[in-house]
Structure 1
């Protein structure tokens, strides 16, 4: 699932690998999804180590009685010099570079130690496969980021990286992904029944 809301989500500001904490709404969302998940049994709880994901996972862990295992491999994409800017500012200051990111050019590397979309995809696909191998026959929870979930969906459905997204990624939306003898499949996506409001659909 995606982390709860941050003030930077509200302000349309690119977070990337910057360590932004949840806002008051995000904390309520995290508590709500924790209560929802506590009604099922789980074998492990993992999270990106960035604060917004970790705080969400800690709320879930308190409800499900699980220790949070931190996995830096599930961090958001590195956006380099775009991080900290609103998307409007990124378009104005880096028109060519940011236009390539917006059209989902898989090999474009954002200036300033950024990460290409293809490199991010390879990182997430490998991390997902590793977790599935470690937890065969088990049910686990993973708290991560919008950009990561975009790639998880494409990995499972075998969609090209450069196609327009046809699914939502709301804050604390529950996405159920299965790997079994027949391969990968999505059984549920973007479930926010635990929220009074569906949350924001943002990637960064």
Structure 2
């Protein structure tokens, strides 16, 4: 049984990242800094042969993946299963406003309840349990399709957190224990159904620290 190398990458910075505004499924493009990060990321990976480049179908991931795919000479393959968690009515709101706009839901969210579902907004929200199952099933499916190869998956902070939890076998209710940077490279392998973390949070290719839109506690 051959292992698959997975480079799991968070998209570059967006205007909403800079404002600390919750994005979720809202389709926000990269800002100028995000585009710079994407180009630096692609150049850093240009000496590694990638057999495929996958991306969430949201444009901040598509734009980031496009820079990588262009230098690799491959096309970007889009997969909605790699979207960020849907935050329902929380989407579009500043983090600082959430305790006042949705006090009860905010408390439930911060409690770490894996079955808490955001109040519906333009879209129906997801629980951590639903989101984690979606992400990990898609990650395993596409990694197994490329057994013995190396692939890049360009996605979102929440997607990276799901993979980290799975590899570390952390409970879904546990507080987040790592920083998730824009345009960071995070290396995993999949052998059978076992996801293993090899390297986390590589941003050596960026001139300055990339942004972590979520506070480390959640």
TM-score, structure 1 as length reference: 0.96
Q: 1:63 to 1:105 in 2, by over 3 A?
A: same
1:40-79 superposed matches below 5 A: 40-79=48-87
Where do residues 166-185 of structure 1 align in structure 2 (5 Å cutoff)? 166-180=177-191, 183-185=194-196
Closer/same/farther in 2, CA of residues 20 and 182 from structure 1, 3 Å limit: closer
2:129 to 115, 118, 135: 118
Equivalent residue number for residue 193 of structure 1: 204
Gaps of 5+ in 1: none
The question of whether the paired residues in 1 share the 8 Å contact of 2:140 and 2:193 is answered with: no
Are 1:108 and 2:119 an aligned pair?
A: no
CA shift for structure 1 position 60? 1.1
Match of 2:10 in 1: 2
Q: RCO (CA 8 Å, sep 6+): is it higher in 1 or 2?
A: 2
The Cα shift of 1:181 comes to: 5.5
**Deviation of residue 168 (structure 1)?**
1.4
Structure-to-structure mapping, 1:151-170, within 5 angstroms = 151-170=162-181
Shift of 1:182: 8.9
Contact 1:38/1:64 (<8 A) preserved: yes
Match of 2:42 among 17, 27, 34: 34
* Runs of 4+ with >4 A deviation: none
Normalization by structure 2: what TM-score? 0.90
Contact persistence 1:147–1:203 (CA under 8 A)? no
Q: Shift of residue 130 of structure 1?
A: 0.3
| Aligned equivalent of 2:4 | none
Measured in 2, the distance between the counterparts of 1:100 and 1:86 equals 17
- Contact between 1:14 and 1:85, CA under 8 Å: does it hold in 2? yes
Q: Distance in 1 between matches of 2:177 and 2:162?
A: 12
